[in-house]
Amino acid sequence: MKVRTIDPKSLTDFKLLAFDCFGTLVDWESGIYDELHPLLGRLPASNPLKKDRVSLLKRFDEIEVSICASKPDLRYPSLLSEAYIGLADALDLPAPTKPEADAFGASVGKWPIFPDTIEALKQLKKRYKLVILSNVDKKSFAQVLKGALAGIEFDAVYVAEDIRSYKPDLKNFQYLITHARDELGVQMEQILMTAKGLKSDHVPAMKMGMTSAWISRGEGNDELKAVEGKVAFTWRFDTMGEMAAAAEREFGK
């Protein structure tokens, strides 16, 4: 639904949807959590994170974000491996073996997709150009295209490996804007940034003056309070399916 009513734009005013992939289209949290089970199995029963999925993922995310900022040239599988080792250290667990850490880093292609994603993208493809702006590498995303996102054609895929920085760095968004203009003939005003990540996508989108839609995926007021005054998304949808349905209604007018 439209939540920023002072914005006069409608969903029909855009030509391109720019997606964050992991968290928005692919279930990043479930994928990461499933792959963290070797570490979970080593945690003593007394550790509060043993059965606290939300807090464990938050701890992992904090470590990953820190590495993204300090090592922008690091390819995503290596970044994931470092984050895995960093989490083990934060949990006072023995350092994982290199093969174990490497397996975690290579797990992107196995992460599950949200059940509404494929049908929503097929509907939206009838109305918009679809572009990915993701904090991954080309090889990892190619695996996702062959697996979870099989059958979906994107008009462009822009990844951190090519940009040599990770979101929320504004370079990633400038790269999107420039390449969408030069390669796809779409101006910034015609791009709708579509993402779950408030800090990684919506905060920089506001800084860049971009219009955005929040795919909340169950998040709520607590997450919004953490970025109060730093985001200005025009639409909020719980799922991609809701967004696709809203677009159909507006285009059908």
* Catalytically annotated residues: 20
Distance CA 1, CA 144 (A): 29
Q: Tokens in use for 205? A: 């989108």
Q: If you write DSSP's letter for every residue of 167-224 in order, what string do you get? A: TTSHHHHHHHHHHHHHHH---GGGEEEEES-IIIIIHHHHHHT-EEEEE-TT--HHHH
251 DSSP 8-state letter: H
Cβ–Cβ under 8 Å, residues 166 and 137: no
CA atoms within 13 A on the CB side of 158: 24
Distance CA 2, CA 46 (A): 45
